[in-house]
């Protein structure tokens, strides 16, 4: 229940927004000097330019005599970007939180019911009790690069389906059937579209001096191609949503999930997969290439295989290390140096 209180009693006011494709479910919470939280209002808006504008005005009106409200939302594909950009353009504080942070926080609240209303309340509760990093409006070229690489992957997925169907059609109907001809034309079209997308992505990066320099450094890492670099840089929007390598690993869903309790419960370690699937997919083949051509990665892979006997587990460890290395190269503005990596590995014991 919302209690009537003068807004001057609040030290912080947060607008929690559960973002969906068509709807913005909103909850406003204030934090008192006694560190209690009080709900000031709830409302739903359309996820449209008009709805976003109405949400912003409604929030400012409710918090008119209190501290400036902070707008906090969960990163949900592309549906939160317009709202975050609108708030940032108004010089207000917009915070975009990674989904795993919100889901972990929700577990601590032991909720019996989870829906859009409780989710927006949890997001507001998280925002009011944590320091929020202001949203930085992403570069249009980074958004464009991300969209191009997602389109490319969709074409590859569709081409794989067509190739499998073609194999079956040749066996069932013969190599000269009309179905076989149609599938061959589909595969040809997908190949042309993939090349066209890759050309457009290269042109986009080349015409952006900042991106061009960064990508040239990243692809010096053994096993990392242009398409891998484009995908990871695009999905992280130039790493503007991550502040550490550990947070990046979690964002990609490559962090380790364990279940242990006393001496009786000891589950297998697994990667969480609660993160960006596009990054995990982009790192799959580069990890095996890195094992072949990078002595440091090869040593890590062989050591984990000999210790645990599970090749896929070792491959995931290499994926994590490649991802962290891309992040380090991006931050340092320096190309990959194999000698430096080997020296660092020896000093640290090369444990991952």
d(CA 294, CA 300): 10
Tell me, what DSSP letter sits at residue 75? -
Lowest mean pLDDT among 221-225, 260-264, 265-269: 260-264
Mean pLDDT, the chain, as a whole number? Answer: 86
Confidence of residue 175 (pLDDT cuts 50, 70, 90): confident
Produce one character per residue of 303-329: b if its CB has 16 or more CB atoms within 10 Å, e if not: ebeeeeeeeebbbbbbbbbbbbbbbeb
What's the whole-model pTM score?
A: 0.77
Q: Is the pLDDT of residue 260 over 70?
A: no
pLDDT of residue 110: 67
Q: Is the pLDDT of residue 261 over 80?
A: no
Of the two residues 113 and 140, the one the predictor is more confident about is 140
Q: Say which residues have a Cβ less than 8 Å from residue 264's Cβ, sequence separation at least 6.
A: none
- Stretch 302-323: mean pLDDT: 87
* Whether domain 7-129 has CATH 3.40.1180.10: no
Domain ranges of the chain: 7-129, 140-207, 222-352
Q: Is the pLDDT of residue 350 over 50?
A: no
Confidence of residue 176 (pLDDT cuts 50, 70, 90): confident
Ramachandran assignment for 240, one of left (phi > 0), alpha (psi -120 to 50 degrees), beta (any other): alpha
Confidence of residue 309 (pLDDT cuts 50, 70, 90): confident
- Stretch 204-218: mean pLDDT: 96
The candidate with the shortest Cα–Cα distance to 232, out of 270, 17, 242, 127, is 242
Query: Strand locations in the chain, DSSP E?
Result: 10-19, 23-32, 37-46, 70-74, 93-97, 256-257, 260-261, 265-266, 270-271
The candidate with the shortest Cα–Cα distance to 52, out of 24, 11, 78, is 24
Q: Is the pLDDT of residue 174 over 90?
A: no
Tell me, what DSSP letter sits at residue 221? S
The candidate with the shortest Cα–Cα distance to 283, out of 256, 303, 253, is 253
């Amino acid at each position: 229940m919302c209690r009537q209180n003068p807004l001057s009693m609040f030290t912080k006011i947060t607008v929690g927004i559960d973002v969906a494709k068509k709807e913005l479910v909103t909850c406003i919470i204030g934090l008192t000097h006694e560190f209690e939280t009080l709900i000031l209002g709830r409302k739903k808006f359309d996820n449209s330019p008009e709805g976003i504008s109405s949400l912003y005005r409604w929030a400012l009106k409710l918090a008119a005599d209190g501290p400036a409200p902070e707008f906090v939302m969960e990163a949900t594909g592309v549906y939160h970007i317009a709202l975050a950009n609108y708030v940032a353009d108004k010089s207000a504080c917009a915070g975009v939180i990674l989904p795993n942070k919100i889901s972990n926080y929700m577990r601590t609240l032991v909720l019996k019911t989870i829906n859009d209303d409780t989710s927006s309340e949890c997001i507001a509760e998280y925002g009011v009790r944590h320091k929020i990093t202001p949203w930085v409006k992403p570069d249009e070229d980074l958004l464009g690069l991300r969209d191009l690489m997602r389109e490319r992957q969709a074409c590859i997925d569709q081409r794989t389906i067509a190739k499998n169907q073609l194999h079956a059609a040749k066996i069932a109907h013969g190599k000269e059937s009309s179905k076989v001809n149609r599938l061959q034309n589909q595969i040809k079209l997908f190949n042309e579209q993939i090349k066209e997308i890759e050309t457009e992505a290269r042109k986009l990066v080349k015409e952006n001096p900042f991106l061009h320099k960064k990508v040239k450094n990243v692809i010096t890492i053994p096993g990392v191609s242009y398409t891998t670099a484009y995908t990871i840089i695009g999905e992280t929007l130039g790493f503007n949503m991550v502040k550490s390598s550990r947070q990046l690993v979690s964002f990609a869903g490559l962090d380790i999930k364990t279940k242990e309790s006393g001496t009786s419960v000891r589950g297998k370690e697994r990667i969480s997969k609660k993160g960006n699937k596009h990054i995990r997919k982009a790192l799959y083949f580069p990890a095996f290439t890195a094992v072949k051509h990078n002595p440091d990665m090869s040593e890590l892979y062989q050591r984990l295989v000999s210790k645990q006997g599970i090749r896929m587990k070792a491959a995931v460890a290499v994926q994590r290390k490649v991802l962290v290395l891309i992040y380090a190269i991006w931050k340092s503005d320096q190309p990959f140096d194999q000698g430096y990596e080997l020296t660092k590995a020896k000093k640290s014991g090369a444990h991952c």
